[in-house]
Structure 1
Amino acid sequence: MFKTIKNAWGIPELRKKIIFTLIIIVVFRFGAVIPVPFLDSTALKGIMDSSAVSGTALGYLDMLSGGAFSNATLFAMSVTPYINSSIIMQLLAVAIPPLERMVKDGGEEGRKKMSAITRYVAVILGLIQGLAYYFYLRNSSYGSTPIVKYTQGGAGIFTAFVIVLVFTAGTALMMWMGEQINQNGVGNGISILLFAGIVSRIPSIIGHLANYIQMAWKDGSANGQYFFLVPLWVIVFLALIWVIVFMNDAERRIPVQYAKRVVGRKQYGGQSSHIPIKVGIGGVMPIIFASSILSIPTTIRFFIGNKDMGSFWNAFFTAFSNTGWVYCVLYVILILAFAYFYTAIQYNPVEMANNLRQSNGTIPGIRPGKPTSDFIGKVLSKITLIGAVFLAVIALLPIVFANATGMSNLSMGGTSIIILVGVALETVKQLESQMMMRHYKGFLD
């Protein structure tokens, strides 16, 4: 990877793109420290650092924003409204025939219209999300310190307007920066910004690990286990990266044989090929869907507060905390379900079988038509199961490790690691493809 980046830096055009991407990332990090007016960042950070936020939608948002939300900054909403908008439009494109025709048959113009609709929906979602979090912040306080200042009378209306407007503007600005990276930089813009936000948490994680070592050094009798647990955490982290890299490149290749046909004195076709099906078809999306749904009960409990609601509801919310066994079981079930759902959206075995028949291609040993679609469906089902189990293990391992060791303040879950590795690999592949284009010798050379 480092060799690829070094070689890309030696090409002037790619060097400009890399520098442009780095400049956008620097601007993003500056925006992540610009405070939102009328908010007490110290009080908000005190709430966000509490263990009550762990496993809630607030903690999830803070993770994706690289800590910008806990510091009440311009980019506190991160790109989550745009991600939600993209998911919604992708699902609607499958469910609504006009949208599906616009994407499939509209060509470049259709894709531009879908992108424009996605941006508008993202701004609307950002406005709704910013308004919802304003009401939460207005009703919250850290001790006796209110988070929102100047909320009385007419000044309160102006305060609400400014805070919600800044949150929404931050989301729109991040979308624009992501599009600029797509046009003039390297990699997928939104993914690069997510990557930068998650990477910014690494220094704080290193600081927590150093604190554990310091605790063990000062009081070895009570905290001596950290001499073993901290290196174990590093080993597990590196092992997860290796497994994700391995599974990211893993694929099942369905062999395809094309029929020979003779036209005049020339013979066409007859070559062998394959259909590649990646093991991790849905990527990180099943984990994002599952964690978003399971964060709802904990978020409701967080908004209600620590009230005594009876033994049943207390037991219910305890079971749905990220330390409960019910949470872990449902987490695995939802990841499996969403993995199959995402595969059903991406692949249509009947359509794939029809395309093979039209191009005179067959799978060796499988008859064309329905037997071919059934075979492809069985392969997809098996591959999806393997990929879903892999995602479930990656998602649960950090939770199990934190519950077993008590090291719960290391905010690097399975979702974060998959995003980091996936974005890094995808960006390196784009650099390699662009270098190959610039070193390719044409027919006139």
Structure 2
Amino acid sequence: MLSALVPAVRNPELRRKILFTLGLIGLYRMGAALPSPGVDYRAVRSCVELVSGGETAGIYQLIDLFSGGAMLQLSVFAIGIVPFITASIITQLLTVVIPRFEELRREGQSGQAKITQYTRYLAMALAVLQASALVALAVNKQLLRGCPHDVLADTSIFAVVIVVVVMTAGAALVMWFGEQITERGVGNGISLLIFAGIAAQAPAQGRQLYDSRGWMVTVLVGVAAVAVIVAVIFVEQGQRRIPVQYAKRVVGRKMYGGSSTYLPLKVNQAGVIPVIFASSLLYLPNLLTQLSSGGSARWRELIQQYLVDPNNPVYMGVYFALIVFFTYFYVAITFDPAERADEMKKFGGFIPGYRPGRPTADYLSFVLSRITLPGSLYLGVVAVLPNLLLSSGGAAPTLAFGGTAVLIVVTVGLDTVKQLESQLMTKNYTGFLR
């Protein structure tokens, strides 16, 4: 990483991109600490410290981790980047269901621009819903359960609408930050903002773990986190390389093709999307039970017992099963073997031993299904194992050092370093050609 960072800092253009990225991340962290209008910041801070590590943390801490601690503090960026992530996932699913989205995807850059615009509209609608739900939970004292203070000074309709509007505008600004980092900075902007939120939470949760469990458990958790990082890097870099041979073609007076390359299929083809999917789905039942005043008390008790407590074996089993399911589901909708086979056939490529067309697609589907199994199991184990170890030791799950957080941090870090090396290589080639 340092071998790519030092030359990048020396390059004026890359240095400007790095400083631009760091500047927007700094503004994002400032907005995450800025309270919304009408919110009693001292009361919120005392309540967060009071309920930290309890039931509320188990319910909302993962979503709060993505926002860098802004959600439980009811700050301007309390909603964070979650609406845009959810909207992006939904639009990707719609490309399979709705033919219009499939046509837009195949139109290239212009079609992708329209899909991005639809994603923004959907993200704003989801931001309004999530901000309304968050404020409603805060007013009903369901967000910070057990807090004796009123976190909102004014609970009138006008004051609540102002808070919802501010949080929605904050979500729009965070989405704009991510897009600007992607276009004018280094790396994927949305992923880097999540990375910054998790990194900002790590010191506070480390201190909390030290105060509650002592230095021995803290050291063991640190060693386990390092081991998880090494395992994640090893698996994330793993791929199945399928050889592809291109036949020679004569176009005019020039000859093209005749080369051999490979088609890389990653072991973790789905990335961290299945983990986010599963986490969001487990977050919904408790949210619906809290927002609805009716319903059986027995059902509420069962949901609280089995689908809220991360230490419960049922919760871990459901979480693991959902990750495996969404891994297969996401890989199926993002990687089309028939489309890849048609692309290779169009440019004169073929896999040795398999005829172009349907046999090639069947072979790619066979290999992909075999690779997805260890990839899905790897995601499930990484996400569940740290909570299992901490719960068996009697400690509350520390998500900043958990498998989900480590998986996101390592994946984003590797992707950012690869993009930085790619841009640095491009600049070196440009200087050589000049």
- Structure 1 segment 33-432 matched on structure 2, within 5 A: 33-45=33-45, 46=47, 49=52, 51-56=54-59, 58-105=60-107, 107-140=108-141, 142-151=146-155, 156-212=156-212, 215=214, 227=216, 229-260=217-248, 269-300=257-288, 309-310=297-298, 314-315=301-302, 317-320=304-307, 321-408=309-396, 410-412=398-400, 413-432=402-421
Residue 256 of structure 1 aligns to a residue whose secondary structure is strand
1:440 paired residue number: 429
Q: Is the Cα contact below 8 Å between 2:387 and 2:397 reproduced in 1?
A: no
Classify 1:41/1:304 alpha carbon distance in 2 versus 1 (closer, same or farther; 3 Å).
farther
Q: TM-score, normalised by structure 1?
A: 0.88
Q: Is the Cα contact below 8 Å between 1:41 and 1:70 reproduced in 2?
A: no
Classify 1:236/1:347 alpha carbon distance in 2 versus 1 (closer, same or farther; 3 Å).
same
Say how many residue pairs are matched: 425
Classify 1:265/1:172 alpha carbon distance in 2 versus 1 (closer, same or farther; 3 Å).
closer
Classify 1:243/1:90 alpha carbon distance in 2 versus 1 (closer, same or farther; 3 Å).
same
Question: 252-261 or 127-136: which moved more?
Answer: 252-261
1:223 paired residue number: none
Residue 381 of structure 1 aligns to a residue whose secondary structure is helix
Classify 1:269/1:15 alpha carbon distance in 2 versus 1 (closer, same or farther; 3 Å).
closer
Summarize deviations over 1:222-241 as a string: whole Å, max 9, x none: xxxx52x3322111100111
State the alpha-carbon separation in 2 of the partners of residues 267 and 25 from structure 1.
49
Q: Is the Cα contact below 8 Å between 1:130 and 1:167 reproduced in 2?
A: yes
Residue 262 of structure 2 aligns to a residue whose secondary structure is strand
Classify 1:261/1:127 alpha carbon distance in 2 versus 1 (closer, same or farther; 3 Å).
closer
Paired letter, 2:86: N
Tell me how far 1:359 sits from its aligned partner: 3.1
Tell me how far 1:381 sits from its aligned partner: 0.2
Tell me how far 1:317 sits from its aligned partner: 3.6
Residue 263 of structure 2 aligns to a residue whose secondary structure is strand
Segments of structure 2 that go 5 or more residues without pairing to the other structure are: none
Paired letter, 2:109: E
Tell me how far 1:368 sits from its aligned partner: 3.5
State the alpha-carbon separation in 2 of the partners of residues 335 and 95 from structure 1.
22
Tell me how far 1:407 sits from its aligned partner: 2.3
Classify 1:288/1:143 alpha carbon distance in 2 versus 1 (closer, same or farther; 3 Å).
closer
Tell me how far 1:86 sits from its aligned partner: 0.8
Tell me how far 1:208 sits from its aligned partner: 2.5
Q: TM-score, normalised by structure 2?
A: 0.90
Paired letter, 2:5: I
Greater C-alpha radius of gyration: 1
State the alpha-carbon separation in 2 of the partners of residues 263 and 169 from structure 1.
54
State the alpha-carbon separation in 2 of the partners of residues 420 and 117 from structure 1.
28
Paired letter, 2:84: Y
Paired letter, 2:28: F
Tell me how far 1:270 sits from its aligned partner: 3.5
Tell me how far 1:392 sits from its aligned partner: 0.7
Q: Is the Cα contact below 8 Å between 1:39 and 1:72 reproduced in 2?
A: yes
Tell me how far 1:442 sits from its aligned partner: 7.2
Tell me how far 1:17 sits from its aligned partner: 1.1
Segments of structure 1 that go 5 or more residues without pairing to the other structure are: 216-225
Classify 1:26/1:265 alpha carbon distance in 2 versus 1 (closer, same or farther; 3 Å).
closer
Classify 1:124/1:267 alpha carbon distance in 2 versus 1 (closer, same or farther; 3 Å).
closer
Cα RMSD after superposing both structures: 2.5
State the alpha-carbon separation in 2 of the partners of residues 396 and 435 from structure 1.
37
State the alpha-carbon separation in 2 of the partners of residues 182 and 266 from structure 1.
38
State the alpha-carbon separation in 1 of the partners of residues 131 and 312 from structure 2.
30
Tell me how far 1:313 sits from its aligned partner: 5.8
Task: Using the aligned pairs only, state the percent identity.
Answer: 41
Q: Is the Cα contact below 8 Å between 2:382 and 2:403 reproduced in 1?
A: yes
Q: Is the Cα contact below 8 Å between 1:297 and 1:317 reproduced in 2?
A: no
